[in-house]
Structure 1
């Protein structure tokens, strides 16, 4: 409950507290009051299609992740470490995509402008929730590694206190990363151009309109975001190499069950990490393909996460069926 309250408060309070603390310094660094987001396309027909499509995606993200979150929290699965982490992943997906998608949908039917303060606030929130999700995915991989390699000691190693500590650590790492990125970009002066060639508040397009040489800033951003993505990805790959090595001694049925559980996580990791590494582990520049790749880790991956984890997981499907059928039965009896 404490971690859930932290998530809810951080979505609205954390970015605003940091923004307010930096306001005097931010005000002295720029002569513009807003940025213009060019979006995905200037074609009106494409914008109408995107409006309908992304509205559907956002509703699917909210409904799917809320179903998974509520079903786990209200069932016996919440006591199992894997599903405990999955419930936090679902809630983080909701906060993470809510930083971007509502603004994207709104910009498709109105002027695509955003104030300087809100632009910085979205960058702060995006990196906060994005890196938190990265670390939660890494923790989930380590959990699967312990479950397969040390099954007899699994519940002792992954007890609730240790699981909660790992989740709090993931949020702390997300906060540390976002603050470091934010402190770098608030030093940039902005005095003229204010058109950003993107559909959300990203850092690399922002560097292009700064009124100074941003080479060092770009290197620092790549070193921060890129290395976080790379190191966690290496940890993920390493954990699954250990899992595959351990499964050689398991029965065919044991291998099938273990790979089925790990397969869902691997799919999510590929959807999220692949585009993220392309976006941040490279020289600080922009490409036309950036917008398409960004869709994967801001909208597509959070939308498919609930489907991937439920359709390939019999325990999750049974929990969903049992909880919602039981709830419907009780409602009918009360009526």
Structure 2
């Protein structure tokens, strides 16, 4: 099946096994994950449309949120279509396609690590320095922070993929996962993968712990500042906004740290896949749920947008 000789590299494609060991649930999984995927796309698209269309949402917080929503759409779309295909038939992917999927997915995941840290820093400035906030978080600085987050993701994972592209895959060609992740892929390499593995570990350690440390520092200072404010609407709003962010952050960083910094903590392949589902599927659906359903300003923007569309239709 698609195996021809290419010098020392005989494999030209991989087969993603996904959840092959529970075939009786494949149809149910296909339906459930199709609904989840559609919800992720629609929910995050609504946030983007609301942010773009409402003048009141043209603030740094919602600019970052719109970027996060766009990132989540791309992030999920690199993994879920192939996973859904695997529930219906054998999901084959070329070696080049597999490396490209890993590069795209890894780059977006790394960019999200930095973007979540940027969002925490933004809330820290807004709550702790409200009078200086417009000056500290100006348009150019916002754009620079977002560009740095995106660029860092593609730069870091570009290095990892460049090392992985040097590996030889001679067989077998079955990846026991639902997408091309690092560990399941390097286990199939028939050449020395220690350099790629050590480099990935170091980069994962830096790209996870540094932004996570910045987030914890930001929220520790936010907590101190909020507790000084008399109980009331301002304190409730601050806690609501920050708690939404922390739910997303905890799920995202927690699963990534377990899988990429301490993979030995996951004792089975099935558990590894379940952990992977948390940051590939659960976190992207948390974004519209936590930021939209609990946010009055986004509600109002969407209602105005829907009302305008209905009025346009009636006219």
Normalised by the shorter chain, which TM-score bucket?
Answer: over 0.9
Contact 2:160 2:196 in 1 (8 A): no
CA distance in 2: counterparts of 1:29 and 1:166, whole angstroms: 44
CA distance in 2: counterparts of 1:308 and 1:169, whole angstroms: 25
CA distance in 2: counterparts of 1:279 and 1:239, whole angstroms: 25
Q: CA deviation at 1:76?
A: 1.6
Q: CA deviation at 1:126?
A: 0.4
SS in 1 for 2:88: coil
1:229-266 deviation line (CA, Å, top 9, x unaligned): 12111111111001111123212123222111111111
CA distance in 2: counterparts of 1:41 and 1:54, whole angstroms: 16
Instruction: Report which stretch shifted further, 223-232 or 280-289.
Output: 280-289
1:314 matched to 2:279? The reply is: no
1:269 matched to 2:249? The reply is: yes
Unaligned segments of structure 1, at least 5 residues: 1-26
CA distance in 1: counterparts of 2:30 and 2:205, whole angstroms: 31
CA distance in 2: counterparts of 1:206 and 1:87, whole angstroms: 33
Matches within 5 A, 1:1-335: 30-253=9-232, 254-282=234-262, 287-288=268-269, 289-333=271-315
Instruction: Report which stretch shifted further, 68-77 or 209-218.
Output: 209-218
SS in 2 for 1:200: coil
1:49-103 deviation line (CA, Å, top 9, x unaligned): 1110111111001110111110110002342110011011111100110000011
Q: CA deviation at 1:30?
A: 2.3
CA distance in 1: counterparts of 2:195 and 2:138, whole angstroms: 44
Q: Tell me what 2:3 maps to.
A: none
Contact 2:292 2:298 in 1 (8 A): yes
- What TM-score do you get using the length of structure 2 for normalisation? 0.93
CA distance in 2: counterparts of 1:225 and 1:211, whole angstroms: 24
Q: How many residues align?
A: 307
Unaligned segments of structure 2, at least 5 residues: 1-5
Contact 2:40 2:284 in 1 (8 A): yes
Q: CA deviation at 1:324?
A: 1.6
CA distance in 2: counterparts of 1:155 and 1:180, whole angstroms: 37
CA distance in 2: counterparts of 1:101 and 1:62, whole angstroms: 11
SS in 2 for 1:31: strand
Contact 2:17 2:86 in 1 (8 A): no
Contact 1:29 1:188 in 2 (8 A): no
